[in-house]
């Protein structure tokens, strides 16, 4: 292709996706270590940082990529293709950095100015443990925050759901604080997504200056009959969904690689004649269905993400559209899981050997897709009501 052909050149997201594909073998080779240690392997964190993946939502003025949501999910899915836990951590980091945008410009500058690769996490405090005390120039905060993805590798944390009284009004405090101010308790023991290191962080009377905080009125944040909510509620769930779709794609890669080998190179013939698996029409068709299901899963994800491209983080998204986007996310999860099951079917019992990366992709997808953001029964119920202008019994996002 000549320089003056008029064809568009590669975008920043194209280059990042290409980097992710180059890292796939490396990420997969370290996935067992990350799982065993219940946190991403140090080599993986370094590789992700060096590739610029922690800059997806960092503002451009601080050296970040500031990518559209569609571009973000493409990159995250590509990383998860090598290691689902790495993809999930990256998704959580991108969403967490996005949330710092809504705290304050001063907080953004303190965290990212000169440090565009800062690794952020975000988590909600357990309301039964939280205390907030107003102090001169800021707040003293305490509480236990479970499900803090990347707890042992992050530089900063955004903590929310800190409820306190401001006069007669209940308010919610969101605050940004360095990880050096908190203690990590290793509580993450899961059968899937173990490498995400989603441990508990503990705040013990930590002072947070006012410029690193933002207050919300409780009745506005938790109102179940709200017609509109900021887009960041939906964006965060779509970034994590990308890690799940990427896991399914990674499983497809593993099965393709296995069945692409000459039978003589494997430790067991595919059948009693030693024939190649893909000589079987049934296996070819089963694999084709799996590939189509997983591709369709990505299409649902990309459609949902594209509808939020150009929508500001705090720009409102009305109730029906949120319900529609949740249904696309739910369909994406369903298709990814169906594709995964077909891959397991054609792989046989050997796909569940602990030395086989296929079983790790399967477990990671199974656990990650049960995140509350993808609760299929509620998503369907809410959508069925929203179509008729009725209010939901439970709002997820």
Give the DSSP letter string of 112-173: HTT-TTPPEEEEE--TTT-EEEEETTEEEEEEEEEEETTTTT-SEEEEEEEEEEETTEEEEE
Measured CA to CA, the distance from residue 303 to residue 152 in angstroms comes to 34
What pLDDT is recorded for position 7? 43
What pLDDT is recorded for position 337? 99
Instruction: Kindly indicate whether the domain formed by 120-221 is annotated with CATH number 2.40.110.10.
Output: yes
Quick one: tokens of 331?
């369909």
Measured CA to CA, the distance from residue 81 to residue 351 in angstroms comes to 17
Measured CA to CA, the distance from residue 194 to residue 188 in angstroms comes to 7
Inter-axis angle of helices 42-50 and 12-37, nearest 10: 170
What pLDDT is recorded for position 11? 72
Determine which helix (DSSP H) or strand (DSSP E) holds 308, and give its type and residue range: none
Nearest C-alpha neighbor of 246 from the set 53, 101, 63: 53
| 385, 391 contact by CB (below 8 A) | yes
Residues of the chain with CATH 1.10.540.10: 12-112
Whole-model pTM: value is 0.93
Q: pLDDT 10s per residue in the chain (397 long)? A: 334 444 445 677 889 999 999 999 999 999 999 999 999 999 999 999 999 999 999 999 999 998 999 999 999 999 999 999 999 999 999 999 999 988 999 999 999 999 999 999 999 999 899 999 999 999 999 999 999 999 999 999 999 988 888 877 888 999 999 999 999 999 999 999 999 999 999 999 999 999 999 998 776 665 554 677 789 889 999 999 999 999 999 999 999 998 887 665 555 545 545 567 778 888 999 999 999 999 999 999 999 999 999 999 989 999 899 999 999 999 999 999 999 999 999 999 999 999 999 999 999 999 999 999 999 999 999 999 999 988 776 665 5
Just give the CATH number of 228-386. 1.20.140.10
β 213-217/169-178 pair status: antiparallel
Residues of the chain with CATH 2.40.110.10: 120-221
Inter-axis angle of helices 281-306 and 319-347, nearest 10: 160
What pLDDT is recorded for position 216? 86
What pLDDT is recorded for position 168? 79
Determine which helix (DSSP H) or strand (DSSP E) holds 70, and give its type and residue range: helix 69-80
The sign of the torsion formed by the CA atoms of 36, 39, 43, 47 equals: positive
Measured CA to CA, the distance from residue 335 to residue 391 in angstroms comes to 28
What pLDDT is recorded for position 151? 99
What pLDDT is recorded for position 262? 61
Instruction: Kindly indicate whether the domain formed by 12-112 is annotated with CATH number 1.10.540.10.
Output: yes
Residues of the chain with CATH 1.20.140.10: 228-386
């Amino acid at each position: 292709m000549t320089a003056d052909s008029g064809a568009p050149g590669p975008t920043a997201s194209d280059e990042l996706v290409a980097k992710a594909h180059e890292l796939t073998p490396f990420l997969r080779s370290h996935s067992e270590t990350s799982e065993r240690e219940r946190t991403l392997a140090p080599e993986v964190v370094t590789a992700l940082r060096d590739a610029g993946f922690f800059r997806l939502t960092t503002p451009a003025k601080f050296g970040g990529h500031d990518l559209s949501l569609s571009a973000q999910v493409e990159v995250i899915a590509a990383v998860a293709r090598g290691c689902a836990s790495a993809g999930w951590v990256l998704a959580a980091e991108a969403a967490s950095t996005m949330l710092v945008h809504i705290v304050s410009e001063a907080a953004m500058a303190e965290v990212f100015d000169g440090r565009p690769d800062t690794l952020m996490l975000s988590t909600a405090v357990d309301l039964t443990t939280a205390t907030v005390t107003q102090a001169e120039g800021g707040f003293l905060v305490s509480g236990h925050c479970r499900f803090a993805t990347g707890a042992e590798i992050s530089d900063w944390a955004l903590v929310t759901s800190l409820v306190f009284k401001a006069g007669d009004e209940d308010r919610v405090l969101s605050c940004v604080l360095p990880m050096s101010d908190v203690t990590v308790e290793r509580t993450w023991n899961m059968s899937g997504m173990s490498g995400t290191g989603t441990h508990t962080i503990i705040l013990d009377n930590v002072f947070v200056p006012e410029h690193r905080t933002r207050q919300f009125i409780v009745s506005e944040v938790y109102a179940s009959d709200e017609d509109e909510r900021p887009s960041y509620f939906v964006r965060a769930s779509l970034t994590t969904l990308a890690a799940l779709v990427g896991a399914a794609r990674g499983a497809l890669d593993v099965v393709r690689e296995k069945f692409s080998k000459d039978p003589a190179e494997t430790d067991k013939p595919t059948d009693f004649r030693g024939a190649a698996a893909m000589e079987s029409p049934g296996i070819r068709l089963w694999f084709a269905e799996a590939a189509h299901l997983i591709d369709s899963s990505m299409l649902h994800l990309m459609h949902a993400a594209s509808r939020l491209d150009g929508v500001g983080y705090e720009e409102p998204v009305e109730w029906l559209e949120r319900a529609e986007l949740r249904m696309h996310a739910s369909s994406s999860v369903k298709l990814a899981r169906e594709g995964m099951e077909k891959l397991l079917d054609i792989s046989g019992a050997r796909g569940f050997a602990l030395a086989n990366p296929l079983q790790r992709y399967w477990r990671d997808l199974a656990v990650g897709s049960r995140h509350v953001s993808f609760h299929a029964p509620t998503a369907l119920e809410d959508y069925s009501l929203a179509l008729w202008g009725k209010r939901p019994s439970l709002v997820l996002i």
